[in-house]
Amino acid sequence: MSVRIAVLGAGRIGQVHARAIAENNTAILAAIADPIATAANAVADHYGCDVRTIDEIAASDDVDGVIICTPTDTHADLIEQFARCGKAIFCEKPIDLSVDRVRACLDVVNECKAVLMVGFNRRFDPHFAALKAAINKGDIGASEMAVITSRDPGAPPLDYIKRSGGIFRDMTIHDFDMAVFLMDEMPVTIQASGSVLVDPAIGAAGDYDSASVILTMASGKQVTISNSRRATYGYDQRIEVHGSKGMVAAENQRPVSIELATSSGYTRPPLHDFFMTRYIDAYAHEIAAFIDSIVNATPASPDGQDGLNALRIADAALLSAQSGKAVHL
Amino acid sequence: MSVRIAVLGAGRIGQVHARAIAENNTAILAAIADPIATAANAVADHYGCDVRTIDEIAASDDVDGVIICTPTDTHADLIEQFARCGKAIFCEKPIDLSVDRVRACLDVVNECKAVLMVGFNRRFDPHFAALKAAINKGDIGASEMAVITSRDPGAPPLDYIKRSGGIFRDMTIHDFDMAVFLMDEMPVTIQASGSVLVDPAIGAAGDYDSASVILTMASGKQVTISNSRRATYGYDQRIEVHGSKGMVAAENQRPVSIELATSSGYTRPPLHDFFMTRYIDAYAHEIAAFIDSIVNATPASPDGQDGLNALRIADAALLSAQSGKAVHL
Amino acid sequence: MSVRIAVLGAGRIGQVHARAIAENNTAILAAIADPIATAANAVADHYGCDVRTIDEIAASDDVDGVIICTPTDTHADLIEQFARCGKAIFCEKPIDLSVDRVRACLDVVNECKAVLMVGFNRRFDPHFAALKAAINKGDIGASEMAVITSRDPGAPPLDYIKRSGGIFRDMTIHDFDMAVFLMDEMPVTIQASGSVLVDPAIGAAGDYDSASVILTMASGKQVTISNSRRATYGYDQRIEVHGSKGMVAAENQRPVSIELATSSGYTRPPLHDFFMTRYIDAYAHEIAAFIDSIVNATPASPDGQDGLNALRIADAALLSAQSGKAVHL
Amino acid sequence: MSVRIAVLGAGRIGQVHARAIAENNTAILAAIADPIATAANAVADHYGCDVRTIDEIAASDDVDGVIICTPTDTHADLIEQFARCGKAIFCEKPIDLSVDRVRACLDVVNECKAVLMVGFNRRFDPHFAALKAAINKGDIGASEMAVITSRDPGAPPLDYIKRSGGIFRDMTIHDFDMAVFLMDEMPVTIQASGSVLVDPAIGAAGDYDSASVILTMASGKQVTISNSRRATYGYDQRIEVHGSKGMVAAENQRPVSIELATSSGYTRPPLHDFFMTRYIDAYAHEIAAFIDSIVNATPASPDGQDGLNALRIADAALLSAQSGKAVHL
């Protein structure tokens, strides 16, 4: 059985997902929607799919699921619309920047018994997935402490930052999701510090560009997170989890792994400089998991509750950074 | 402009190349040929191309180039057939196991002014290509010595070994091509040693399973090669080149790069265990280069002469191993 | 000129320092003091020095400096005694577990204009020293964030833990000193979390065995620290500092660096399993620095103020962990 | 029991061995001999030992063993002299550059039943020793192939090269000894290639500066060696041994192991740039083994036969490089 998928939004991430569907043996890219006709047509031409409006897709009998890649402020409405018409839904994170709006949206999803998967792509990265598998296999015994380092090659445009909800809701949220995913537990206490060290304009926009967080789980397990909006050496994405029997760590990734030795030392090339090349496999595996959940009628994961969890932690972190106090969930 | 390509042979490597063509933006997979109808049909169904016989493809106006993935003993004949009908030709290595037959075949190619590219895929591996680029950029000054380590996860079936032409013509030939490619020079002296250390049955079949080779170029540059038909830890493929200003090395590749630390030490997973996963990017880049050479009417590289060069070195290595003498080209 | 040094305390660390003096070309080990005669005699026999009482050493004209390796609760009194009789003083950390007592002791040191160096040995580790030198050289631009991972192979005896002042004053204090040393700045806000994950007996003794800390400096620079009292793979001591132009990290150290590759993967041996082998070079360099400061009459570093600074941060961390609030210095 | 050792020759390596004796708990440095009085006196002053002539040492009742660090052309005579007067002998490699002279010398050693240890220090390097231990433990199954890379930071003075016996007898000889030590077997066939790539003056002096060698053992096991007299990135000393169950490799060593990441990539410092810092532990362990063999009256290892073996391989390699033929032992 093949499932037929429509992609809403023909931007950068929409194109990535369209390609993942086209290369997936179980799925067919049925339609693309985008208010910019040239963008939609480019995708349609390349993969031989239809261009339709969002409402046409909602009304289409030949579409089983949708992938929402539209601007953030449309996510919750679109989720509700497609939940109501019975389509399986994959939505890029976040569902919304407001916890209340997310809760209301998830109520609709639950009422409609809709399939909703949220785009925390890092869970599907082969390296992080192997790390999680090693933990599940018992390789490190009982998990105790995690250290997550997450630094972007460079800050996004100021305009984006202003709409992003801030570093905790936009960037650290991925680390919050990984923390909960890896430790299998929600934090009860969040301590955070935010600074402006990279670009004063980010501070002027009301945001931080550098952040550190401690999550303490009910069991006492701890996770520390270190974030920066700029890393000259590339997209720095490391996770290590320490437990009673050992530690497991996922290393950084680089496009080519050669090493040059000269009188200046031994040099390996910088890391990937873009999240899309760094996580290209993760995106494909994520879409494959969504398709599997439709084909096998199994629960989608990560789901709306995971999206809500990460957002609640982000809100607590922001409050902690602003107030200088630990925040309890 | 799109170029239309037919693939001859729907086996393992034929399928890899078919996929590379399908995903290439400049090429169209026009047809597949295979005496086993189910194999040909599977490829045709998956990519939406025709099934044709080899002779039909030779006669097709809508085919610009062919990719020869048939058994080795058919390569030279097919190259001549397609050279005569003006198709661009990509042929898996080797052209033939006989130097004389290769020379005769290349005469036909030259007469027909045909495009012929030979499948030394390792030149297109991103890591080895980056190593070559570093050399060309002058990062190590003048190249002087190379050390190539090449070990297979396991020996191929005995039946294959018997038809393979022996370890030097089948396995080391890739290292010979890389040596010439990286040092930009042919060896003048070949010293080789062959042993049976992995499996006595390989020795009974008249072959070696372990080999060491020194190539000495006219300039005095030296290359050492170490080969084994078995490596328990995966597909071991390393090259380093040492020069007047430094050294550059390409590291091994593994599917996932996590590290587990326990009381037993720090452990990273084994390497790729299969040449097709190890060299998946190399195959795609190789086919892209073939397509580029058709689109831009530029010389194909590596070409027939490169295939002949590597085979002549392999023959010399075999003679050296058998006679215990250095062989001069 | 040679300086003559006496060592107070012939225990484990006293022996390490005695050896460092004996091997130092500028110093002479003049005397050893220890209430346990066999311990003192063993050192005296090995290095050919005198056995004297502490009071005899204080009264000795032929002793330029002392190294205090006695139990913690004697440190402040001994510092004051030797400050008053004009000897240069090296004291193992901590000066005292009470900030008030440390302040009173430093008042005496200052009045006497005594040389006082405190034993934060990690500053003298060649790898950490190289990291600091790289920062000073401008290799990473402006420092912004540090991540310190510090895990012991195993917890000390409970009896020791009860007298230790707790994990922050006993173990994390080294990381606090390194944070201030590397960032050249004191924190203004300390956020800490403490848990009992390794051994409930440690919790019953009123201490934590796992801790995470965020230090935020006045400039907004941030340091995260992750501590555990147990690491199965050895003595885990890593520091990385991230800045505007890059990052510099000091790697872990192991006694032998071989790598074994098998079907289970690539394995390197565990790390050093003992702080004395891990930091053997650091101890020698530390004592050499103390001797240099006597010979050249230059200020000792780290000094008493550094000891006080680290202790104040430790007290703040403890308060933060216990109260769940950020503590401001 | 303490053993009393005299060192013959107060040059660079003599000083290293004098220090190793002084720091060894079982040995006493009894005397130093050197025709240059200032050199002998400097050692005597530093360690508090006598200055004596070689003949005085030979006649000394209070000397149990000697360490010969004099020029190569005196080694064989001194070995014979001290064998005849019953002293245990440690001699720096080589015993002599002539196989015949070595044989004659070993005859005297055997007649006198003298203890003779030869200074192949690499066997005692902790990393290479761990590699050998892993092989002996069965970690890689049956050894099959070794790859030895050995490159000096820079060529020695021409004057030294002229007296050295050439690259195979001076430099590769260490690799030959390691090959026999690790594979537990002598080669039956030696194939070698020598080139002048680093410095034409070395060629003018009748030597090579770059060499590659294949050793094939009677069992068919193979060892490849790659040598250069110059490596800009430091003292490159790697060994890997491949076997039926896996591979074990000893990594290069550097004085400090930090890593700097910038937009240019990830850089670690160069390797040790001098054999004495690289092998400082090896020298200490080597002398400790010599002292142990005296104390326990156990056979010294490596012994004179090991010295002869390595020299015979070196002679064969030179003949192979000059003649272009494989040489059989």
If asked whether residues D154 and D14 sit together in one domain, one would say no
* Nearest partner of A223 among A199, A239, A207, judged by Cα: A239
Contacts of B269 in chain A (CB under 8 A): 130
Domain boundary (B91, B114, B137) is at B114
Q: Which of C231, C263, C270 sits opposite B265 (nearest CB)?
A: C270
Q: What is the pLDDT of residues A205-229, one digit of tens each?
A: 999 999 999 999 999 999 999 999 9
Q: How far is B165 from chain D (nearest CA, A)?
A: 21
Residues A190-205 have a mean pLDDT of 98
Determine the pLDDT at residue C231.
98
Contacts of D142 in chain C (CB under 8 A): none
Determine the pLDDT at residue B23.
83
Confidence band of D2 (pLDDT split at 50, 70, 90): confident
* Nearest partner of C135 among C54, C247, C50, judged by Cα: C247
Determine the pLDDT at residue D1.
62
If asked whether residues B185 and B323 sit together in one domain, one would say yes
Q: How far is D222 from chain B (nearest CA, A)?
A: 7
**Structural domains in chain D (count):** 2
Q: What is the pLDDT of residues B260-270, one digit of tens each?
A: 999 999 999 99
The one-character DSSP state at D325 is B
Determine the pLDDT at residue C133.
98
If asked whether residues C43 and C94 sit together in one domain, one would say yes
For residues C91-101, one letter each, b for 16 or more C-beta atoms within 10 angstroms of the residue's C-beta and e for the rest, the string is bbbbbbbbeeb
If asked whether residues B274 and B202 sit together in one domain, one would say yes
Q: What is the pairing mode between strands D187-195 and D327-328?
A: antiparallel
Sign of CA dihedral C105, C106, C109, C114: positive
Determine the pLDDT at residue B235.
97
Distance (Å) of CA A248 to CA A147, A272, C263: 11, 22, 19
- What is the rounded CA–CA span in Å between residue C3 and residue C26? 6
- Non-local (6+) Cβ contacts of C288 within 8 A are C20, C24, C26
Q: Which residue of A has its CA nearest to B269?
A: A130
Residues B203-221 have a mean pLDDT of 97
- Evaluate if residue D245 carries a pLDDT over 70: yes
If asked whether residues B151 and B264 sit together in one domain, one would say yes
Task: Give yes or no for a contact between A84 and A14, defined as CB atoms under 8 angstroms apart.
Answer: no
If asked whether residues B36 and B129 sit together in one domain, one would say no
> Within chain A, where are the H helices?
12-23, 37-47, 54-58, 75-84, 99-111, 126-136, 158-163, 167, 173-183, 200-204, 275-278, 280-295, 304-323
Distance (Å) of CA B80 to CA A43, B75, B86, B87, B301: 41, 9, 10, 10, 18
The one-character DSSP state at D11 is S
If asked whether residues A175 and A243 sit together in one domain, one would say yes
If asked whether residues C98 and C187 sit together in one domain, one would say no
Q: Which of A139, A262, A269 sits opposite B260 (nearest CB)?
A: A139
Residue C197's CB is within 10 A of a number of other CB atoms, namely: 24
Contacts of B328 in chain D (CB under 8 A): 324
Q: Which residue of C has its CA nearest to D238?
A: C258
| Residue D302 included in any domain | no
Q: What is the pLDDT of residues B273-321, one digit of tens each?
A: 998 899 999 999 999 999 999 999 999 999 999 999 999 999 999 999 9
Confidence band of B9 (pLDDT split at 50, 70, 90): very high
Q: How far is A217 from chain C (nearest CA, A)?
A: 10
Interface of C with B (CB under 8 A): 231-233, 261-270
- What is the rounded CA–CA span in Å between residue C316 and residue C190? 6
- What is the rounded CA–CA span in Å between residue D173 and residue D240? 17
Q: Which residue of B has its CA nearest to A19?
A: B23
- What is the length of chain C? 329
Task: Give yes or no for a contact between A262 and B248, defined as CB atoms under 8 angstroms apart.
Answer: no
- Evaluate if residue C93 carries a pLDDT over 80: yes
Confidence band of B1 (pLDDT split at 50, 70, 90): low
Distance (Å) of CA C328 to CA A212, C215, C217, C318: 17, 10, 10, 12
Task: Give yes or no for a contact between A139 and A245, defined as CB atoms under 8 angstroms apart.
Answer: yes
Residues B140-145 have a mean pLDDT of 98
| Residue A243 included in any domain | yes
Q: Which of B262, B268, B269 sits opposite C232 (nearest CB)?
A: B262
**Which structural domain, as residue segments, surrounds residue B95?**
3-114
| Residue A300 included in any domain | no
Q: Which of A147, A211, A245 sits opposite C149 (nearest CB)?
A: A147
Q: Are B253 and A251 within 8 A, CB to CB?
A: no
Q: Are C264 and B267 within 8 A, CB to CB?
A: yes
Sign of CA dihedral B217, B221, B227, B233: negative
Q: Which of B193, B244, B247 sits opposite D222 (nearest CB)?
A: B193
Cα–Cα–Cα angle for C196, C201, C202, nearest 5°? 50
Q: What is the pLDDT of residues D180-224, one digit of tens each?
A: 999 999 999 999 999 999 999 999 999 999 999 999 999 999 999
- What is the rounded CA–CA span in Å between residue C217 and residue C211? 19
Determine the pLDDT at residue D230.
98
| Residue D76 included in any domain | yes
| Residue B300 included in any domain | no
Contacts of C232 in chain A (CB under 8 A): 244-246
Q: Are C231 and A242 within 8 A, CB to CB?
A: yes
Task: Give yes or no for a contact between D82 and D89, defined as CB atoms under 8 angstroms apart.
Answer: yes
Q: Which residue of A has its CA nearest to B22?
A: A23
Q: Are D260 and C247 within 8 A, CB to CB?
A: yes
Q: Are A224 and C214 within 8 A, CB to CB?
A: yes
- A vs C, Cβ pairs < 8 A, gives 128
Q: How far is B5 from chain A (nearest CA, A)?
A: 19
Q: What is the pLDDT of residues C253-309, one digit of tens each?
A: 999 999 999 999 999 999 999 988 999 999 999 999 999 999 999 999 999 999 999
If asked whether residues B225 and B247 sit together in one domain, one would say yes
Q: How far is A269 from chain D (nearest CA, A)?
A: 4
Neighbours of chain C (3+ CB pairs under 8 A): A, B, D
If asked whether residues D232 and D250 sit together in one domain, one would say yes
Cα–Cα–Cα angle for B264, B268, B269, nearest 5°? 115
- A vs B, Cβ pairs < 8 A, gives 75
Q: What is the pLDDT of residues D81-130, one digit of tens each?
A: 999 999 999 999 999 999 999 999 999 999 999 999 999 999 999 999 99
If asked whether residues C102 and C128 sit together in one domain, one would say no
- What is the rounded CA–CA span in Å between residue B58 and residue B52? 10
Q: How far is A143 from chain C (nearest CA, A)?
A: 9
Distance of CA C97 to the CA centre of its chain: 14
- What is the rounded CA–CA span in Å between residue D140 and residue B209? 18
Determine the pLDDT at residue A2.
85
Residues C179-205 have a mean pLDDT of 98
Determine the pLDDT at residue C1.
61
If asked whether residues C184 and C43 sit together in one domain, one would say no
Which CATH number belongs to the domain containing residue D86 in this structure? 3.40.50.720
Q: Are C260 and D251 within 8 A, CB to CB?
A: no
What is the largest distance, in Å, between two alpha-carbon atoms of chain C? 66
Determine the pLDDT at residue D23.
82
> Within chain D, where are the H helices?
12-23, 37-47, 54-58, 75-84, 99-111, 126-136, 158-163, 167, 173-183, 200-204, 275-278, 280-295, 304-323
Residues B114-125 have a mean pLDDT of 97
Q: Which of A130, A139, A255 sits opposite B126 (nearest CB)?
A: A255
Domain boundary (C79, C114, C149) is at C114
Q: What is the pLDDT of residues B225-251, one digit of tens each?
A: 999 999 999 999 999 999 999 999 999
Q: Which residue of B has its CA nearest to D139?
A: B232
Which CATH number belongs to the domain containing residue A237 in this structure? 3.30.360.10
Distance (Å) of CA B172 to CA B198, B213, B253: 16, 9, 19
Q: Are D246 and C256 within 8 A, CB to CB?
A: no
Q: Are D233 and B226 within 8 A, CB to CB?
A: no
Contacts of A258 in chain D (CB under 8 A): none
Range among B102-111, C292-301, D41-50 rated most confident: B102-111
Q: Are A232 and C220 within 8 A, CB to CB?
A: no
- Evaluate if residue A42 carries a pLDDT over 70: yes
Task: Give yes or no for a contact between C126 and D256, defined as CB atoms under 8 angstroms apart.
Answer: yes
Q: Are D267 and A265 within 8 A, CB to CB?
A: yes
Q: Which of B197, B226, B230 sits opposite D224 (nearest CB)?
A: B226
| Residue B299 included in any domain | no
| Residue D62 included in any domain | yes
**What are A195's two structure tokens?**
């600074």
Instruction: Choose, out of A257, A267, A268, the residue to mutate when testing the contact with D (most D CBs < 10 Å).
Output: A267
Q: How far is D234 from chain A (nearest CA, A)?
A: 7
Sign of CA dihedral A63, A67, A69, A74: positive
Interface of A with B (CB under 8 A): 23, 126-127, 130-131, 134, 139-140, 245-251, 253, 255-263, 269
Q: Which of B231, B232, B266 sits opposite C267 (nearest CB)?
A: B266
Interface of B with D (CB under 8 A): 142, 144-145, 147, 149, 151, 189, 191-193, 195-198, 210-214, 216, 220-226, 228, 230-233, 236, 242, 244-247, 324-326, 328
Q: Read off the amino acid at residue B265.
A: G
Q: Which of D245, D255, D259 sits opposite C249 (nearest CB)?
A: D259
Interface of A with C (CB under 8 A): 142, 144-145, 147, 149, 151, 189, 191-193, 195-198, 210-214, 216, 220-226, 228, 230-233, 236, 242, 244-247, 324-326, 328
| Residue D301 included in any domain | no
Task: Give yes or no for a contact between C219 and C145, defined as CB atoms under 8 angstroms apart.
Answer: no
Cα–Cα–Cα angle for A67, A72, A74, nearest 5°? 75
Domain boundary (D114, D138, D165) is at D114
Confidence band of A1 (pLDDT split at 50, 70, 90): low
What is the largest distance, in Å, between two alpha-carbon atoms of chain B? 67
Q: Read off the amino acid at residue B77.
A: D
